[in-house]
Structures are given as structure tokens and as C-alpha cells.
């Protein structure tokens, strides 16, 4: 029997539905593995279809197209190492999340996912049938067990594979990022290693898909839980890993370990990668956004410059009579520091025309919120006109605090195709600005140094829709608001939990009410990258019509 086994791990970035493109990536990776002398070239879960493909995989025509590409891929990769690839797999009326082993020109074996996740962003119980508990597959004389993603979060699948002869575990994943998830993954995989006594290789994909960003960071553990291989987070790459057989079985040969970025860097990388892939995979090349002189639009402009390059970002200042000189100066300073195009489009004349048009209907009524929102909606109209004319996707810039309580104008500043900070609370926006000013990485396409003036970070937040307006006129101060939102949204807690944490009950009730009545706005809002398990969209699904309020 062989004493050495080489796996080429392909931590790559598929596109949902691009079967030909994903298959081409797989072929190129297989060629790399073949040149490296690999016994097996491994790709992540559902790589051929892309992940998370949701209901697309239930379409019969799509399933047949997947099978065609699998057969072609098997034929193309006949003369060399085995190729392991994830794909949807139909058998009669059943549909499985499968891991397929291609060798000698055919589909030689398959593993079917047994434990189907049915929480947060996953609906696999609705989409897939559960496969049976099965045994390992053979590559040469080596028997490999592949618990597919969620399978490795439960002990039964790995234990069954070990009991039926698996010599090590290769776990293909489509595991999206949320803050601190790497620690959770590592703890789960260490548990499987300790339970089975087998080495374990965890292979994850990278790249953005709608709201989810897959962070890679593939790794390998030896018995006892010692880390032998740690691949970089977020980077698409192939890397060969060797196992050697000794008296006690297979062991992964240790390699230098990459380090996982801290929370602020990881979150920022997700925002950049999410936007970059959303643009690239939908076909847009350029973006524009309204640059107000405030902190939210400043960090969105910076994310856009880092994701796409400053030359592909248009910043538009749309001032009214309530826009301060400091906002004008700060907005221009951000665009200049980033190297983005800066356009100045006053809204005074347009606003006056709308006011005149509505005057007969509004006669005798006091100006108020309606007139404030007209400004925001006029800005949205003008930005969408620019988007249509120049083919640039409009970014919206509302932070999670605003999105949570509806402190945003639907069809106004909420207009846009993507929101890079949708899951970032206001207090974290401030700190992210400071982090970006102090840090630059090679994956950023924007300039080094301070790009967001300190004056933007320190001034009181305001929408500038009336004289002397401050966000604190309508909302609790952001440190209080964000702490309450963390309890009510991210932790799914109660009013009693807020009170127990030291917050005023009436303030907590007000925030809860605002969260519920804003559901209709979120239902129509742009997608954005998921940073937490409490992100608005698939993580948290509430009815739009909802009369319940916490009585505690």
C-alpha cells in the first residue's frame, strides 16, 4: 500500500449557475493537481452548481445540465488523478447534495449529504433529500470518508465512516462567513478528530454570492486535534497537502500556517469581496453613490474603491439648502483622497419644482416629514437617472442601525442595487473607518493612508433634511441603540433582557416597535454582505404584517 497520499485542495470561487465556468475552473485545478503529482484533486461542496443556489437546483432542466457537465468533466479528467467535486445529484424523484468522485473517465462513486442544515441562510431540508449514512470511497488503495459540510457538525456521520474503514476524512464545505465562525468550525472539527482518531481535512470555498461571502481558510488536523495546515482566508488558490502513512495510520504533513485576520479586517474584507463578486458575477463594471459628507457614505465609497478601483467609482454630492459647508468640504475630501470621480448636483431647483407641483394639494398644511423625504426621494431619482444613463450600479449606504429601525427613506436613500454596510451597526462603522485609515492590504484597490477625514468620524450624525437636525433627535444615541439592537435582533432577545442589561424599558419598547414596523422597508431593500448570524434577509425572517409586541 502507498505510504504517501497527495491531495490538491482547490479553495476556489464558483458562480451560481455558471456550469461551464465552474467546470472550467475545475479542469484547470485538476491540471494543476496532475502537474503536482496529486492522487486526488478536491473541490468544495456544490462547486459545479455554485452555492447557495437555493431553488435553482430543483429545476429539472438545471439538473440535467449539471449531469451533462459532470459527464464531460469526467471524460476530460480521465488521464490523471481522481477529481472530487460537489454538485446537486438527482436520482428518480429524489435530489441530493452530493460529493462525486470522477476517475477513469466516469463517475466512480458518490457520497450523499445526510445532515441537512435548516437554519439561518440554509433551507436544505426543503430542497434536498437526506442521503443514507454511508461508508468511505476508494482512491487507489486508500479509503476516504467525506462528511459533506453539515455532516461534519454531527458525530454520527464521521463515526459511521470511521467504523466502516475510512482512513482519513476530507470535508467539502460551502460555509459562509459570520463573525467568529472560524473558531466554531475549528472546535467542531477538533471534536470529530478526537471522536474518530482520524486526520481531517476541511476544504471551504471562497467568494461572494448575494448576501453570503465564503471565506475559505481551509485547514487540516491530525489526530489529537493538532493543526497541520492552515490556508489563507478569502484568497482563491490551490494548495497540495500530503499525508504519510506510519505505524499509527495516516498523518498530514505539517506546513507553515496562515493566520486568520482579526474581526475588523475580516468584516471589511467581506464587505469588499461581497461587492466585488456581486459586481463581477452580475456583469456591472462601475458604481455610483450619493456622498453626503457623513460617515456611512464615506465608508461605502472606500469599500467601493477598494473593491473595484477608484476609477470605477462615481461619488455624487446632492446638496440642499440644509447641507452644511463642512459636509460639502468633507465629501469632496473623501472623493479626492480616494481618487474617485466627484460630481456636484444641487437639488434646490428640482425640490422647488416638486414643492410647487404639490402646493395646491398641501395648501394649509404645515411642512414636516413629507417635505424632508421629498429631498431624499429626489436624490434617489437623480442617482437612478445617472445609473441608467451611464450603466453604473447605484450603491445604497444605510448602516444596520438605520436598516433595523427604518431610519431611512424608502424609494429615497434606500434606492440602489447593493448595500455594502447593511449588516454593520453605526458604532462599528465609526471603528471601521478608523481601521481602514490605519491599515492597507494588497487586496485593496484603493490608496493607502487616511482616506476618511477625522472630521467625518467625530461630527454628530445628521441626515441634514432640516435646520440643525441630528439623528439623536429621533433615535437613542447610537451606543444605546446598537446595544439594544444587538439584544433584540442579533440575540433574538426580549424586552426583559434589555431591562436586565440596564436599559430603560420604554426606550427598549420604542426600539422594538420601530424594528417591527420597518419590516416592509427591509423586504424591499437591497442585499448586502452578511457579517453576523443576525443579518437582515435570510437569517431573520419576520412577517411584514405583525401586531405582536413583547408584553414583558
Please identify every residue annotated as catalytic.
Answer: 45, 113, 149
Cα gap 192→123, rounded to integer Å: 24
Q: Are residues 199 and 252 in contact, defined by beta-carbon separation less than 8 angstroms?
A: yes
Beta bridge partners of 97: 88
**Is the dihedral angle over the CA atoms 487, 491, 494, 500 positive or is it negative?**
negative
Helix axes of 426-438 and 263-282: crossing angle, nearest 10 degrees = 90
Largest separation between any pair of C-alpha atoms in the chain = 92
What is the CB-side half-sphere exposure of residue 219 using CA atoms within 13 A? 25
Beta bridge partners of 83: 41, 102
Cell numbers linked to 509:
419598547
Rg (CA), the chain: 26
Q: CA 124, CA 418: separation in Å to the nearest integer?
A: 26
d(CA 416, CA 379): 12
**Among 113, 181, 198, 433, residue whose Cα is nearest residue 302:** 433
Mind giving me the DSSP string for 282-303?
HT---EEEE--SSHHHHHHHHH
Closest CA to 237 of 205, 202, 194: 205
Which phi and psi angles does 106 have, rounded to 5°? -145, 170
* CA gap 424, 459 in Å, rounded: 19
Q: Are the C-beta atoms of 452 and 433 separated by less than 8 Å?
A: yes
> What H or E segment, with its residue span, contains residue 204?
strand 200-204
Task: Kindly state the cell numbers that stand for 290.
Answer: 450619493
Amino acid at each position: 500500500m502507498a505510504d504517501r497520499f497527495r491531495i490538491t485542495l482547490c479553495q476556489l470561487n464558483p458562480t451560481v449557475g455558471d456550469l461551464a465556468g465552474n467546470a472550467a475552473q475545475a479542469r484547470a485545478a485538476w491540471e494543476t493537481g496532475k502537474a503536482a503529482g496529486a492522487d486526488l484533486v478536491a473541490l468544495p461542496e456544490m462547486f459545479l452548481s455554485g452555492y447557495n443556489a437555493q431553488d435553482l437546483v430543483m429545476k429539472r432542466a438545471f439538473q440535467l445540465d449539471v449531469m451533462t457537465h459532470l459527464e464531460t468533466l469526467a471524460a476530460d479528467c480521465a488521464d490523471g488523478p481522481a477529481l472530487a467535486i460537489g454538485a446537486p445529484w438527482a436520482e428518480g424523484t429524489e435530489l441530493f447534495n452530493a460529493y462525486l468522485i470522477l476517475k477513469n473517465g466516469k463517475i466512480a462513486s458518490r457520497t450523499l449529504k445526510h445532515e441537512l442544515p435548516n437554519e439561518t441562510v440554509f433551507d436544505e431540508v426543503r430542497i434536498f433529500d437526506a442521503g443514507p449514512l454511508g461508508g468511505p470511497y476508494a482512491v487507489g488503495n486508500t479509503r476516504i470518508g467525506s462528511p459533506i459540510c453539515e455532516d461534519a457538525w454531527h458525530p454520527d456521520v464521521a463515526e459511521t465512516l470511521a467504523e466502516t474503514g475510512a482512513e482519513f476524512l476530507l470535508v467539502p464545505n460551502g460555509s459562509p462567513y459570520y463573525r467568529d465562525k472560524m473558531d466554531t468550525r475549528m472546535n467542531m472539527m477538533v471534536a470529530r478528530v478526537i471522536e474518530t482518531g482520524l486526520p481531517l481535512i476541511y476544504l471551504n470555498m471562497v467568494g461572494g454570492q448575494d448576501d453570503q461571502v465564503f471565506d475559505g481558510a481551509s485547514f487540516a488536523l491530525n489526530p489529537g486535534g493538532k493543526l497541520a495546515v492552515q490556508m489563507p482566508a478569502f484568497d482563491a488558490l490551490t494548495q497540495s497537502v500530503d499525508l504519510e502513512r506510519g505505524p499509527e495510520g495516516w498523518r498530514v504533513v505539517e506546513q507553515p500556517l496562515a493566520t486568520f485576520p482579526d474581526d475588523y479586517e475580516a468584516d471589511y474584507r467581506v464587505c469588499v469581496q461581497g461587492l466585488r463578486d456581486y459586481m463581477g458575477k452580475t456583469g456591472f463594471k462601475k458604481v455610483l453613490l450619493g456622498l453626503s459628507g457623513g460617515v456611512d457614505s464615506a465608508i461605502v465609497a472606500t469599500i467601493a474603491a477598494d473593491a473595484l478601483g477608484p476609477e470605477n467609482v462615481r461619488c455624487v454630492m446632492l446638496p440642499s439648502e440644509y447641507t452644511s459647508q463642512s459636509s460639502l468640504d468633507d465629501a469632496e475630501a473623501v472623493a479626492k483622497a480616494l481618487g474617485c470621480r466627484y460630481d456636484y448636483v444641487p437639488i434646490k431647483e428640482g425640490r422647488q419644482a416638486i414643492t410647487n407641483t404639490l402646493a395646491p394639494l398641501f395648501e394649509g398644511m404645515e411642512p414636516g416629514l413629507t417635505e424632508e423625504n421629498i429631498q431624499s426621494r429626489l436624490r434617489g431619482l437623480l442617482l437612478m437617472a445617472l445609473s441608467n444613463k451611464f450603466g453604473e450600479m447605484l450603491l445604497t449606504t444605510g448602516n444596520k442601525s438605520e436598516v433595523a429601525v427604518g431610519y431611512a427613506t424608502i424609494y429615497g436613500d434606500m434606492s440602489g442595487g447593493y448595500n455594502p454596510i447593511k449588516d454593520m451597526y453605526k458604532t462599528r462603522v465609526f471603528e471601521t473607518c478608523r481601521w481602514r485609515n490605519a491599515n492597507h492590504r494588497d487586496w485593496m484597490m484603493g490608496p493607502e493612508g487616511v482616506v476618511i477625514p477625522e472630521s467625518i468620524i467625530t461630527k454628530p450624525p445628521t441626515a441634514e433634511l432640516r435646520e440643525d437636525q441630528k439623528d439623536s433627535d429621533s433615535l437613542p444615541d447610537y451606543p444605546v441603540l446598537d446595544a439594544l439592537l444587538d439584544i433584540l435582533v442579533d440575540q433574538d432577545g426580549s424586552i426583559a433582557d434589555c431591562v436586565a442589561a440596564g436599559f430603560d424599558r420604554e426606550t427598549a419598547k420604542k426600539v422594538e416597535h420601530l424594528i417591527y414596523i420597518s419590516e416592509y422597508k427591509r423586504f424591499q431593500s437591497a442585499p448586502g454582505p452578511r457579517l453576523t448570524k443576525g443579518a437582515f434577509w435570510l437569517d431573520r425572517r419576520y412577517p411584514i404584517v405583525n401586531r405582536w409586541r413583547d408584553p414583558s
